[in-house]
């Protein structure tokens, strides 16, 4: 029997998750067919009822990758949330875990692997800590960014959003993990962004273009006072990876800063998902990371 897994979100046609997962399962010799399924937040409950019916019928489902706008809504659709996902109330991974009985006793267990994805991507780029930190955006991925900054030692963060009344997920994450945040309007964020050691942009593609223009002007007008103490821009992780480079990434790199493409985060979080979907956990061979990098044209690396 061919097993099934999928990435859910809206829109979803741009997702590179199918390429990553298919490469991993082919390398492992595991017969899991991985697809992309467009699901809106309103349609999620009906979709998950259908999934549960299929689980009871044949037990073929092994996992769901969850992207925007479903990361908070999925919490209500599973049997259990584990790890940091439970703390944040935001998940991006659902594993189908048997309790040892029949397919009808399979439990849907949710996790958040975005946090590990962000932490590992930043550390791979040389960001061992985050003394001063900025997050752009206030949704589900921003919540994971708050938790990631906590792991990197940040004692506080500034969260810049397009609408300060719509940052509930980032605020809740900050309260949950104990990282005080200031939620501020995105307009006028350039000076704080330029001076930060770590910047994580969770904004959709092109949503940071106006800020990029302001940032370029800030760096040109105040080339020394605008920067962190070490004299050059810090590390920018832009989770948007299409189109690439984003305008803000191009400005950052031109100023001498380190840019981490969102593809890096995607790879690291997907590796954690493969651990859950295959049941291999820490026994997952290191070579899987290499073939996943190959699948999306990223440099190879070892965890």
Contact call for residues 4 and 33 (beta carbons, < 8 A): yes
Q: Exactly one of 4, 22, 27, 71 is catalytic; which is it?
A: 71
Burial of 35 (0-12, 13-18, 19+ CB in 10 A): middle
State which H helix or E strand residue 181 sits in. strand 181-185
**Neighbouring C-beta atoms of residue 276, cutoff 10 Å:** 23
Helix, strand, coil share of the chain (percent; to 5): 45, 20, 40
* Helix and strand counts by DSSP (H, E) for the chain: 11, 12
Q: How far is CA 14 from the centre of its chain?
A: 15
71 noted as active-site residue: yes
Residue that has been written with the tokens 């067919």 in this structure: 33
- CA–CA separation, 288 and 72 (whole Å): 29
Q: Which residues are catalytic?
A: 71
């Amino acid at each position: 029997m061919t097993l099934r897994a999928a990435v859910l979100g809206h829109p979803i046609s741009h997702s590179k998750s199918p390429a990553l997962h298919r490469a991993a399962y082919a390398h492992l010799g595991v017969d899991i067919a991985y697809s992309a399924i467009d699901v809106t937040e309103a349609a999620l409950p009906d979709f998950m009822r259908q999934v549960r019916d299929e689980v009871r019928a044949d037990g073929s489902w092994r996992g769901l990758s969850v992207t925007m706008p479903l990361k908070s809504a999925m919490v209500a659709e599973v049997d259990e949330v584990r790890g940091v996902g439970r703390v944040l109330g935001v998940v991006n991974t659902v594993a189908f875990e048997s309790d040892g009985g029949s397919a009808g006793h399979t439990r849907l267990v949710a996790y958040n692997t975005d946090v590990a994805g962000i932490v590992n991507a930043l550390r791979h780029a040389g960001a061992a800590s985050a003394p001063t930190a900025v997050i752009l955006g206030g949704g589900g991925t921003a919540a994971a960014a708050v938790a990631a900054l906590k792991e990197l030692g940040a004692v506080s963060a500034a969260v810049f959003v397009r609408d300060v009344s719509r940052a509930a997920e980032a605020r809740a994450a900050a309260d949950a993990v104990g990282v005080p945040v200031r939620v501020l309007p995105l307009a006028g964020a350039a000076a704080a962004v330029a001076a930060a050691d770590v910047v994580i942009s969770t904004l959709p593609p092109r949503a940071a273009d106006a800020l990029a223009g302001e940032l370029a002007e800030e760096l040109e007008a105040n080339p020394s006072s605008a920067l962190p103490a070490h004299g050059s821009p810090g590390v920018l992780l832009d989770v948007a990876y299409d189109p690439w480079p984003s305008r803000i990434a191009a400005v950052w790199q031109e100023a001498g800063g380190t840019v981490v493409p969102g593809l890096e985060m995607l790879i690291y979080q997907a590796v954690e998902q493969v651990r859950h979907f295959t049941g291999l956990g820490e026994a997952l061979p290191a070579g899987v990371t290499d073939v996943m990098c190959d699948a999306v044209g990223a440099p190879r690396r070892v965890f």
